[in-house]
Every structure is written in C-alpha cells, then in structure tokens.
Structure 1
Amino acid sequence: MKENKQRTNGRWKLLAVIAVCTAPVIASYFTYYVLKPQSRTNYGTLLDPSAYPIPATLGTAALDGKPVALDAYKGKWIMLSVDGADCGDACRKKLYEMRQLRLTQGKDMDRIERVWLIPDAQPVETMLMREYDGTRMLRVKPDAVRAWLPVDGGTVPADHLYMIDPLGNLMMRFPKDADPNKIKKDIVKLLKASRIG
C-alpha cells in the first residue's frame, strides 16, 4: 500500500517535471501558429516592386511643361508625395516633413530626391515653390497616378508618402498621418541596406 502511494507520488512528480519542461515549447508553437505575431520591423508597408512598375502613361512634366520622367532620378531614392497644386495644410505638412526627413539623413541626404506629383493644371504658389526649393514638382495625369499607386482601404494616394528605390521600383508606402520619426527609421534602414561598398 505504501509502495503504491510512493509510486503514484513519483508519477505525479514526473508528470509535473514533464509539464514544466514542455510548457515553453508548447507556448512557442501556440504563439507562432495560432497567434501569428508580426515579425516585421518596418513601419511602412513593403510593396512588391513587380506589381507596381512606373507606368509610361504617367505623363510627368515639370511646371514649365517640359517632359521629365521619374526615371530621370534613377540612382537615388525618391520620396514621393501626391497632392493638388492648391496644396492645403495636409500637403504643406507632407512637403515640410519630406524636407526635414531628407535633412536628418546627414551625409546620406544627397541620396534622396523629393518629388511632388501634381495631378492638376492649377498654378503652384510662388512662395510655396521657394519654401520647398529642391522638391521636384511634376505635373502628372490624375487617372494614371491613381491607377499606379496602391492605397490603404478608405484612402487616396494624397494620404500617403511613398518610397521608390534607386532602380526605379516602388517599394514602400507610409500610412495616412504617418509618424515622421518612424518614417525616419525606415529611411535610415533603406539607405543602409542599399549602400554600396
């Protein structure tokens, strides 16, 4: 009788040890296969470049009407914004953030071009052009840009900032009302990963 009790206690202890040892393994499998945590470290949404090639139908042109293709900036990262020429508060905020994000890259800032695509024929305010000197302001066909740039549900291209890599591939979209500090971290990673030599 005493021997049976010891045997039962021994079995319970063995089961407790097995449970303690296997719990982390079971928890990790549960987390990986059931909870499926996000493993990404980027803030912006990575896009499949092959799904969004720069269309030849964009019809981009400088403000003076001379054709300028986005390919003209190949070899550099392009930080891209889309807004009408009237450029309300949200547009001005994006232009300001684009300028500041480029400046915060220090010695790497020359690897970034800022491009503002303007999908209308309205005049751009002279003071705005001076304030954001260095931003490439290009007219674009509105239908072509809407068909090209992917958006989050319930948004339009004007709600986002985009990044195009030095090979001309659209590769990242930042969310509406994006946090500039988080965008900066993504840009630092992109520039570091694409540095040659």
Structure 2
Amino acid sequence: MSDKELLIPASQVDASAINARTRRGRIQMLFLLLACASPVLASYFAYYVIKPEGGKTNFGTLVYPAQEFNTAWLDAPLQGKWTLLVARPAGECHIKDEKCIEALFLMRQTKVAMGRESERLQLIWVNTDGKPVDPEVLKIYDEKTAGLKVLTLPSDPKQRADFETWLNKEGVGQEIQLIDPSPAKMMYFPVTNSPKEFSSMKKDLEKLLKLNHKGENL
C-alpha cells in the first residue's frame, strides 16, 4: 500500500468500494431488465413499425385463422391428409368447358409435380349439382387415373348449408382450396393456366409438404 493510500481513512475506502459495487450492481440490473424486456420491445417494434404482413407465399392466399372443416360433410378421409378441393357442378363440366377443366387439370398437374410427395396430397372434386359426370371427363380425371375423388354435397340440409357457407366464405367458392391435416382450410389458389403461376403454386405446396408433417399420422 502506498503512502497516499495510508493517509486515506479506512471509512472512505470502504465507502468508495461500496459505491463502486452499487454502480456495478445497478448496471447489471439494467442489462438484466433489458434482456427480459427485449422480446416485448421487439414485438412492439415489429407490430407498430414494421407492420407484419403474415406468412409469405408464392401464389396462394393464406387463410387466417384457418377455417375448420367438419369431416361429416364429405365421405372422404380428410383428417391426417393434405387436400386440394374444388367445387363445380358436373352438369356444367364438360371437356369444352375451360373454366371447369382448367381447375381439374391444374389440380392433377400439381399432384404429379409433387413427385415422391404426391401420395401425401389428395384431390377432391365436390359435384355441387349431383348430376352424372361427363364420361369423357371421368375418363381423364377419375380417381385411378388422376387421383381425383368425385364427391357429392352432404345429403343433410343443415350440413349442406354449413359446408356451402364454409366453401364460399370470403367469396372463394370458385377457388382451389387447400385443407391441412387437422383438417382446416388454410390457403386457396385461383384457377390459372399460366405456367409461371403454376410454378408458384407448386412451390407453395412443396414448401408446405417439406416443412409440415402436422397431424399426418392421426
């Protein structure tokens, strides 16, 4: 200890050390509070400054919150499966009817484009008028050839009304609707014959099938 330190009263040395420790403690406490508060601060910053836009897709529109599907509506195993669903009247769906055939063709080609993952994706056409399907259409788009299940609307009036409300919610009744394995509608796609838009739809589904196995073993 130096001569100068020997001249400083012990009480002052103790007070100086205590003050230094107090300052360090306050700084440590401040850092701890900032660490605890950072998630909250980040969320406020993201919400009020960045303005979140939701999940990103290449082509499809996300449905948030997802719209639950009642498995009693259709005679098909939707729980535990990824499903593309389209609703069209069979009486108006002929080979020369571009609007209907484009939807069926797009769904079939999308399933084929999934490659090894194609078995995880099922295709459903809800026949909304209950009329017989055109034999030419059925030959190309039946379950064996194209993996397309043709189903009718629920026979029970209440269930039919509920299904139609679900189908047409937000005005997307004519779109191709993607149902997740829970099952619930979580995305929809417009019908398109554009190769670029088909590629974007394919990328959306590839991403989902790659990253999500939610409920597939139910």
Query: Shorter-chain TM-score: which interval?
Result: 0.5 to 0.7
Task: Give the Cα separation in 2 of the matches to 1:73 and 1:34.
Answer: 40
Map 1:140-151 → 2, pairs under 5 A: 140-141=153-154, 143-151=161-169
Q: Which runs of 5+ in 1 are unaligned?
A: 1-30, 61-68
Task: Give the Cα separation in 2 of the matches to 1:149 and 1:193.
Answer: 26
Q: Which runs of 5+ in 2 are unaligned?
A: 1-45, 155-159
Task: Give the Cα separation in 2 of the matches to 1:151 and 1:127.
Answer: 32
Q: Is the 8 A contact 1:54 1:170 kept in 2?
A: no
Q: Once the two structures are aligned, what percentage of the paired residues are identical?
A: 30
Match of residue 80 from structure 1: 85
SS at structure 1 position matched to 2:89: coil
Post-superposition offset of 1:156: 4.9
Post-superposition offset of 1:146: 2.1
Please, what TM-score do these two structures have when normalized by structure 1? Answer: 0.66
Post-superposition offset of 1:150: 4.4
Distance 1:36 1:132, change over 3 A: same
Match of residue 117 from structure 1: 126
Deviations 1:94-153 (A, max 9, x none): 10010000001110001111000111121111111110122000011463432112444x
Map 1:148-167 → 2, pairs under 5 A: 148-152=166-170, 155-157=171-173, 159-167=174-182
| CA radius of gyration, larger in | 2
Equivalent residue in structure 2 for 1:171, among 186, 190, 195 = 186
Distance 1:39 1:143, change over 3 A: closer
Distance 1:183 1:149, change over 3 A: same
Equivalent residue in structure 2 for 1:105, among 92, 98, 114 = 114
SS at structure 2 position matched to 1:191: helix
Post-superposition offset of 1:33: 4.5
How many residue pairs get aligned? The number is 153
Map 1:2-151 → 2, pairs under 5 A: 33=48, 36=51, 38=53, 40-42=55-57, 43-47=59-63, 48-49=65-66, 51-54=67-70, 56=72, 58=73, 60=74, 69-70=75-76, 72-85=77-90, 86-87=92-93, 88-134=97-143, 135-141=148-154, 143-151=161-169
SS at structure 2 position matched to 1:124: coil
Distance 1:151 1:183, change over 3 A: farther
Q: Is the 8 A contact 1:54 1:148 kept in 2?
A: no
Q: Is the 8 A contact 1:78 1:113 kept in 2?
A: yes
